[in-house]
């Protein structure tokens, strides 16, 4: 089922009967199934039920009423695909074609956004996703623009498909080897490609079991950190290796990174190390350890460290170019410094990854300001133009303008030359270096 899940969202018309089978009431008894089979095959006309598809929200054809989900559950018999197709063709009498057209036009991104809305709404209301129902109006979709482009009737049907998928995954997910996520054709790869369709709580359950089963260490022991030494580096802008190693991040990196990673695979309530702050007389009962984590992450966003740099959107805000930033909420994001490529720097980036993993294992809210494009590259997820827009809106708008110029009726050769003619085939990287573009 899951291998075929991506194709459910753009089914050919001949396969619509397969998708609609999943709307059937799964609580119906086998005897009821047999009744459907007997009735539909051996009677001249199908059972007369009222049509469940009457669009109350303007989608799917017909007038008045809405998708009668109760009728929809019982109107699709679970028998042969041929009989089901014939039954649908006669039962819906033309309305189904109109409804199918609007249903087939829904993109996978709409389903992703629907599941994101369900997860957020269930968290706010304290309910289970299985109990979620589509709102009566689209007013609650303010933060979900794609959902506003689809009628509520269609969203109700998409909700049933997603609910059925998650119901099947309850028993299937423990049997899927997620270590094969990077192996095309495997179930793990298929699941990770569509992970945005899975309820958040279902993913958290899998995550919790994985964390518990992989626990193997008791921490890296006691380490000493000189915070006064680290503070003295704040005024130094060089970002040299010597400055890096004197920061709190550099001191803990030097003492912990060389140890086996399994020592950091601790229980959620444990500490990865015990901290002794030099000259401060601290006793680590948990507070100094948490301070060391937050201080490290805060340091990584400071100018003298240079491992993370403010994104282009943040620089534009700092320089006063905020008029074009409407709707962009990630002007506080930082990205890795592309010029830090020495072995020491790469090891430090690896240690940042260990800190991210440590924060997830122990439920520690570490104040990283990384954009979605960084997390997606770590997880192996596809990156979209909107991810780039979150760190460099002006670049994406510029590229969109160039790409859309041929379709712009008002764009002339002279106007295009005036707007884009002075652009050279070079660009500046986030660290200020001039980079020649590939031909």
Residue 40 banded pLDDT, cuts 50, 70, 90: very low
Range of the domain at 207: 79-213
In a shared domain, residues 268 and 347: yes
- The residue among 350, 374, 398 that closes a domain is 374
Q: Does a structural domain hold residue 151?
A: yes
pLDDT for res 103? 66
CA 4 to chain centre: 21
Please state, for a pLDDT cut of 70, what percent of the chain lies above it. Answer: 71
pLDDT tens digit string along 283-321? 666 688 888 899 999 999 988 888 999 988 887 776 666
Q: Does a structural domain hold residue 89?
A: yes
Domain count, the chain: 2
Pairwise CA distance, residues 272 & 274, whole Å: 7
Q: What Cα–Cα distance (Å) separates residue 215 from each residue in 211, 309, 417?
A: 6, 34, 61
pLDDT for res 175? 86
In a shared domain, residues 131 and 241: no
Q: Are 263 and 219 in contact (CB under 8 A)?
A: yes
Element (H, E) at 120: helix 108-125
In a shared domain, residues 112 and 176: yes
In a shared domain, residues 234 and 314: yes
pLDDT for res 24? 36
pLDDT for res 90? 58
Q: Rounded mean pLDDT of 40-69?
A: 40
**DSSP letter string, 345-364:** HHHHHHHHHHHHHHHHHHT-
Residue 429 backbone zone (phi > 0: left; psi -120 to 50: alpha; other: beta):
beta
In a shared domain, residues 199 and 227: no
Q: Are 331 and 369 in contact (CB under 8 A)?
A: no
- The residue among 213, 244, 276 that closes a domain is 213
Q: Rounded mean pLDDT of 409-428?
A: 78
Please state, for a pLDDT cut of 90, what percent of the chain lies above it. Answer: 14
In a shared domain, residues 163 and 248: no
- Written in H, E and C, the secondary structure of 255-277 is HHCCCCHHHHCCCCCCCCCEEEE
Residue 439 has pLDDT above 80, yes or no: no
Q: Does a structural domain hold residue 69?
A: no
pLDDT tens digit string along 169-206? 888 888 888 888 888 888 888 888 888 899 998 888 88
- The residue among 357, 374, 391 that closes a domain is 374
Pairwise CA distance, residues 436 & 439, whole Å: 9
CA 375 to chain centre: 9
In a shared domain, residues 169 and 182: yes
Q: Does a structural domain hold residue 204?
A: yes
Residue 132 backbone zone (phi > 0: left; psi -120 to 50: alpha; other: beta):
beta
Pairwise CA distance, residues 184 & 180, whole Å: 8
Q: Are 299 and 248 in contact (CB under 8 A)?
A: yes
Q: Rounded mean pLDDT of 46-68?
A: 40
pLDDT tens digit string along 339-356? 999 999 999 999 999 999
In a shared domain, residues 365 and 262: yes
Q: What is the CATH number of the domain that holds 248?
A: 3.90.1750
């Amino acid at each position: 089922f899951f291998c075929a899940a991506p194709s459910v969202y753009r089914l050919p018309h001949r396969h619509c009967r397969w998708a609609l089978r999943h709307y059937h009431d799964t609580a119906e008894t086998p005897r009821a199934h047999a009744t459907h089979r007997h009735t539909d095959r051996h009677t001249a006309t199908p059972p007369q039920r009222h049509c469940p598809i009457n669009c109350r929200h303007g989608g799917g054809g017909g007038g008045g009423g809405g998708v009668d989900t109760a009728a929809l559950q019982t109107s699709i018999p679970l028998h042969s695909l041929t009989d089901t197709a014939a039954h649908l063709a006669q039962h819906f009498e033309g309305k189904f074609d109109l409804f199918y057209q609007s249903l087939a036009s829904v993109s996978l991104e709409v389903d992703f956004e629907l599941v994101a809305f369900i997860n957020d709404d269930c968290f706010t209301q304290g309910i289970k996703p299985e109990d979620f129902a589509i709102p009566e109006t689209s007013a609650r979709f303010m933060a979900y623009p794609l959902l506003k482009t689809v009628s509520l009737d269609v969203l109700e049907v998409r909700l049933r498909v997603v609910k059925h998928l998650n119901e099947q995954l309850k028993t299937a997910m423990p049997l899927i080897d997620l270590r094969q996520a990077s192996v095309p054709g495997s179930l793990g790869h298929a699941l990770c490609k569509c992970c945005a369709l899975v309820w958040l709580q279902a993913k958290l359950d899998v995550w919790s079991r994985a964390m518990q089963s992989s626990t193997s260490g008791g921490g890296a022991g006691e380490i000493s950190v000189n915070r006064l030494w680290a503070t003295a580096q704040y005024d130094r802008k060089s970002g040299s290796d010597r400055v890096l190693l004197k920061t709190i991040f550099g001191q803990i990196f030097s003492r912990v990174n060389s140890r086996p990673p399994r020592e950091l695979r601790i229980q959620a309530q444990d500490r990865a190390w015990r901290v002794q702050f030099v000259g401060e007389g601290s006793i680590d009962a948990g507070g100094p350890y948490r301070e060391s984590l937050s201080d490290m992450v805060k340091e990584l966003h400071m100018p003298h460290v240079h491992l993370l740099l403010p994104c282009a959107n943040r620089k534009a805000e700092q320089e006063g170019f905020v008029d074009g930033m409407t709707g962009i909420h990630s002007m506080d994001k930082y990205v890795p410094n592309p010029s830090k490529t020495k072995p020491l720097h790469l090891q430090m980036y690896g240690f940042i990854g260990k800190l991210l993993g440590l924060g997830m294992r122990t439920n520690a809210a570490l104040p990283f300001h990384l954009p979605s494009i960084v997390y997606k590259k770590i997880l192996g997820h596809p990156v979209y133009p909107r991810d780039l827009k979150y760190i460099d809106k002006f670049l994406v708008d510029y590229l969109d303008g160039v790409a859309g110029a041929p379709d712009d009726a008002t764009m002339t050769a002279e106007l295009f030359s005036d707007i884009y003619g002075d652009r050279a085939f070079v660009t500046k990287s986030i660290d200020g270096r001039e980079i020649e573009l590939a031909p």
